[in-house]
Copies of this chain bind each other. A is one copy, B any other.
Amino acid sequence: MPASEDQFTEAQHLTTLIFRVAERAKDAFTTIAGECGLSASVGRALLTLEEPAPMHTIAALLACDPSYVTSLADQLESQGLAERAVGDDRRVKLLKLTPAGLEARERLAGAIAAGPSVTSALDARQRRELTALLERMLG
């Protein structure tokens, strides 16, 4: 094994674990969203809409391009879950949930809360430890 291999192995083991945990969480989210009739990305957008928000704010929250928010908003609208409304500044469009959207959001959040999570295997203390470590990593 070449010289850098050991270092590499060490440096990567933890990262690999993180990827696996994240992937499992993502798969779980995709499944639950699917059971609610939503794609993962639409589900994620839905969850950001606790309050009506301008499109560009949603883009910032999702860390994506504004043009993609247009696509997400179209999907939410076509499913009857959200509507666009013009803001005071008439360039701005507020995206806000319809009653059906509110209900779908509730259902999704409830399903997530009710189902098992990646973190279910940890007790309260371990969760606190993990939180602290992750927050430290994020600086």
Give 10 CB contacts A-B under 8 Å.
A11-B117, A12-B112, A15-B117, A17-B131, A17-B135, A17-B138, A20-B138, A118-B137, A129-B129, A133-B133
Partner of A11, one of B13, B113, B131, B134: B113
Complex contact B13–A131 (CB within 8 A): yes
**Interface assignment of A86: CB less than 8 Å from any CB of chain B:** no
How many protomers of this protein does the assembly include? 2
7 additional contacts, CB 8 Å, given A14-B134, A129-B133? A2-B109, A10-B113, A18-B25, A20-B134, A24-B137, A119-B137, A122-B133
A127 touches B14 (CB 8 A): yes
Task: Mark out the residues of chain A between 1 and 21 whose CB falls within 8 Å of any chain B CB in the assembled complex.
Answer: 2, 4-5, 7-8, 10-15, 17-21
B136 and A17 within 8 A (CB): no
Shortest distance in angstroms between A66's beta carbon and chain B's nearest beta carbon? 20
Interface residue? A92 (CB, 8 A) = no
Compute how far the CA of A126 lies from the CA of B132 in the bound complex, rounded to whole angstroms.
Answer: 10
**Beyond A14-B131, A25-B19, is A5–B117 a contact (Cβ under 8 Å)?**
no
